[in-house]
Amino acid sequence: MRPAQMIIRQHTCRCLEGFPKHVSLYRSPKQHLSTFFPTQIQIPSPPTLSQPMYSELLLSATKSLSLIHGKEVHAHIIKACFTPCMFLQNVLLNMYCKCGDMSLAQRLFDTMPTRDTVSWNSLITGYSQVGVCRKSLDVFNEARSVQIKLDHFTYASALSVCSRNGDLKMGKVIHGMVLVSGFYQRVFLTNSLIDMYSKCGGISDASLVFDSSSELDDVSWNSMISAYVRIGWDEETLRNFAKMHRLGIKPNPFALGGVFKSCSSLSNSVILGKMVHGCVIKVGLDSDVFVGSAMIDLYAKNGLLSEAVMVFNSVPDPNVVVFNSMIAGFSRLETDGNNEHNYEAVCLFSEMQRRGMRSSKFTFSSVLRACNFPHDFELGKQIHGQIFKNNLKRDEYIGSALIEMYSSSGSIEEGFKCFHSVLKQDIVTWTSMISGCIQVDHFEWALSLFHDLLGIGIKPDHFTLSCLMSACANLAVARSGEQIQCYAIKVGFNWFTIINNSQIFMYARSGDVDAANQTFQEMENRDVVSWSAMISSHAQHGCASDALMLFKEMEGCKVSPNHVTLLGVLTACSHGGLVDEGLRYFERMKVDYNLYPNAKHCACIVDLLGRAGRLVDAEKFILDSCFHDDPILWRALLGSCRVHKDTEMGTHAAERIMELEPHAPASYVLLYNMYLDAGRKSFAMRARDLMKERGVKKEPGLSWIEIGASVHSFVAGDNSHPESHAIYDKLEEMLSKIEKMGYIKMEALEINGSSPKQNGSFVNHHSEKLAVALGMIRLPQLAPIRVMKNLRVCVDCHTAMKLFSESEKREIVLRDPFRFHRFRGGLCSCGDYW
């Protein structure tokens, strides 16, 4: 029992000696406080306590925020028929206000015979604390109308209301009253004014108050720094922090957390962060949990994980926030599939569990992102179980992380279940689901979700639109991408760098490299992604010189390249046959840019050497590299062997690929075509039979073309299109023209085993030829025909497209999974090497 109850009940029990037992003095608080006057039941009053004792008991209830104990003291005052003085009434009023019962506080205030400034201040502050800002200002105005002499606490309370309500206009009015009243030199009010202006968006006014004040304390400096952090004025934050440090004013942990946040946003963040870290050690706040979490976040964001771990270990009693920062640091660095950092993040999560810490939604979100790889999928499911146990499965923040985890593991159906289970589907959740669909190549689903999103009235953000442009890029539907671009311009997102980068990628993947280049040239803020996207675009379209020129311009702008940039440069060298340049850039990766090549970079070198006919050097490069067990390198060698008709080395490369990927159809198809091109049909048949024996099925060829707002798709020999007769008539007309130019219809065995008679017609009606024929019919004469294909273009279709471009005087752009073929005047941008 608390002291207040013990004292009251001891005195009351003495008073009740000899009374019948059925008479109860202690009724419910609601019964006691139905009125502030004695009830009609006449019960002898309990003994009266002294005023200091009542005051002490009420202050104890206020400090512990125990409303029930405060009510009991009030009930005792009433029953003892004690007439409290104004001081005790103010203490009682303050108790109700601090405990949040404003209805009883107002009733008590209304019954007070006299009120002073303290009474009004308590009521104003009480309404402000419970969030009834309008009522709080009404009480303030009423106090002014009854001509109560307001003090600096009154004005501070009113300014606090304006801060909570974001009422800058009223805040300026109160600022004027402060100046008139003569309280403007009080540092207490200076701090309140700084806080009000900064939270209401008047940062220039806050700065003016700060600069014009004759007296400032540590709260003033910390408040000003926090204000600059809030609006993102990072340089001003650090400038004021430096002044504060020179004056010997000690920053508080919250201000220091903001300073570290500002350091993270600047280019030289690591140097600045280490300098601030030194100041933190000097003032003795290096073991503070709030400051520690901010330092961990800074170091982890910049890749300095060892420093982050040292800070984590130096915090004597880390709380959930510190653990969360460290887990997020490990999760954030996990970009290459390396399992080491994933393991550390999960170990920290397990340590939290062992310590009995209650994981927050940020904890679960961070550790789930550490499981965004197929090999960690089972672990992610276990963490999902923990989320169920903590009843957080319907949280939108965790829901987004679960969607990402399941999508990265290919379980899009589970991702949709998590999406539908989220109670509040905000734009982040929708964007995660759209991104998840794109990740598993369900691009049409992503666009469908976008239409649903608009249908329910949720406004997409720039991340959503960026994802949708990526979907349009993969589908190569430029017209749909243009509509999303128009929407981005309409809502004012067209200046976001992420939107412009996605726009470059979308146009480049749709075959319109000129539109991609125009977007790039119009950008004001180009980052490494912008440069990499444009360099890769030129490389994929066979414009090697343009790609290398752009890379030199990028170096001149002091933009550091990344792995994607160098992959684009090496691809350009490979497609352009620039062997010496490609080898030189490959060596520069480690020496000049501190970038270590991955399997894709090495495959470019294999392709580069193979393109030049140096097949022995290409094979040696594979065997000497650390990626000699990666099928992508051997597949590049097999492609080169096919071009140069080296069936012996090609057979060896194919056998190696089949050992590594026995069920990948691309390897069998390449081997089959190599034998076919070399005229060794019996070996080609063996490759086809081996494919059947192992149950490997070739993916059917599919081509599509976008005309207006519609996308038309075809398979070989397709008769399902409504304009099928016109398409075949146009195709026969085109074939007749190029036959006169020397084209010979290809009659070769297809991998599906059709007869030569059937095959001649089948090859001449390949899906890309049907799509081009439809484009010739439906598109204007000056419009280029852009066709997309899911498989590598065959030799016959490549030859036919070159002749079509010459006979029909039309530009044809054909995209396969590896590159673009731009046919103009009988020539192809690939130089007949693909």
pLDDT 10s digits, 522-533: 998 889 999 999
What's residue 45's pLDDT?
56
In this predicted structure, the answer to whether residue 631 has a pLDDT above a threshold of 80 is: yes
**What global pTM score does this model have?**
0.68
Q: What is the DSSP letter of 37?
A: S
Give CATH 1.25.40.10 domain extents, the chain. 598-698
What's residue 547's pLDDT?
94
Nearest to 85 by CA among 60, 62, 119: 119
Mean pLDDT of 651-663: 87
Q: What whole-number distance in Å separates Cα of residue 640 and Cα of residue 674?
A: 10
Mean per-residue pLDDT over the chain, rounded: 83
What's residue 673's pLDDT?
78
Mean pLDDT of 262-268: 78
> Is residue 164 within 8 Å of residue 135, measured between CB atoms?
no
Q: Which residue has the higher pLDDT, 42 or 131?
A: 131
**Neighbour-count burial for 350-367, b at 16+ CB within 10 Å, e otherwise:** eebeeeeeebbbbbbbbb
What's residue 375's pLDDT?
66
In this predicted structure, the answer to whether residue 420 has a pLDDT above a threshold of 50 is: yes
Mean pLDDT of 726-733: 93
Q: Which amino acid is at 61?
A: A
What's residue 749's pLDDT?
44
Residue 126 has which token pair?
A: 């009480």
249: which residues sit within 8 A by CB, 6+ positions away? Answer: 218, 221
255: which residues sit within 8 A by CB, 6+ positions away? Answer: 221, 222, 225, 226, 229, 241
Q: Which helix (H) or strand (E) holds 705?
A: strand 703-707
Q: Which amino acid is at 499?
A: I
Residue 488 has which token pair?
A: 């981005």
Mean pLDDT of 692-715: 86
Residue 623 confidence class, pLDDT cut points 50, 70, 90: very high
Q: pLDDT tens digit string along 285-316?
A: 888 888 888 899 888 888 788 888 888 988 88
What's residue 809's pLDDT?
93
Q: What whole-number distance in Å separates Cα of residue 97 and Cα of residue 762?
A: 86
In this predicted structure, the answer to whether residue 833 has a pLDDT above a threshold of 50 is: yes
User: Is 812 strand, coil or helix?
Assistant: strand
Residue 484 confidence class, pLDDT cut points 50, 70, 90: very high
Residue 833 has which token pair?
A: 């090497």
Q: What is the DSSP letter of 578?
A: -
In this predicted structure, the answer to whether residue 126 has a pLDDT above a threshold of 80 is: yes
Q: What whole-number distance in Å separates Cα of residue 811 and Cα of residue 58?
A: 88
**Could you tell me the sign of the dihedral formed by the alpha carbons of 24, 29, 34, 37, in that order?**
positive
Most confident of 341-350, 366-375, 412-421: 412-421
Give the Å distances, CA to CA, from 345 to 262, 266, 368, 382.
Answer: 25, 27, 10, 14
Q: Which residue has the higher pLDDT, 490 or 254?
A: 490
> Is residue 203 within 8 Å of residue 211, measured between CB atoms?
no
Q: What whole-number distance in Å separates Cα of residue 494 and Cα of residue 498?
A: 9
In this predicted structure, the answer to whether residue 34 has a pLDDT above a threshold of 80 is: no
Nearest to 35 by CA among 95, 83, 79, 86: 79
What's residue 779's pLDDT?
93
Q: pLDDT tens digit string along 188-229?
A: 788 888 888 888 888 888 888 888 887 888 888 888 888 888
**What's the per-residue H, E or C state across 174-197?**
HHHHHHHHCCCCCHHHHHHHHHHH
Q: What whole-number distance in Å separates Cα of residue 582 and Cα of residue 573?
A: 5
List the 827-828 sheet strands across, edge first.
Answer: 710-714, 703-707, 785-789, 812-815, 820-824, 827-828
Residue 64 has which token pair?
A: 């512990």
Residue bearing tokens 């519609």: 710
> Is residue 826 within 8 Å of residue 738, measured between CB atoms?
no
What DSSP letter does each residue of 614-661 carry, written as one string? -HHHHHHHHHHSTTTT-HHHHHHHHHHHHHTT-HHHHHHHHHHHHHH-
Q: Which helix (H) or strand (E) holds 710?
A: strand 710-714
Q: What percent of the chain has pLDDT over 90?
A: 27
Q: What percent of the chain has pLDDT over 70?
A: 90
Residue 794 confidence class, pLDDT cut points 50, 70, 90: confident
Mean pLDDT of 97-110: 87
Q: What whole-number distance in Å separates Cα of residue 149 and Cα of residue 181?
A: 10
Q: What whole-number distance in Å separates Cα of residue 697 and Cα of residue 39?
A: 91
Tell the CATH topology of 598-698: 1.25.40
- Geometric angle at alpha carbon 488, from 483 and 490, rounded to 5°: 95
> Is residue 748 within 8 Å of residue 777, measured between CB atoms?
no
What's residue 337's pLDDT?
46
Q: Which residue has the higher pLDDT, 409 or 632?
A: 632
What's residue 536's pLDDT?
93
What's residue 333's pLDDT?
66
Mean pLDDT of 6-33: 41
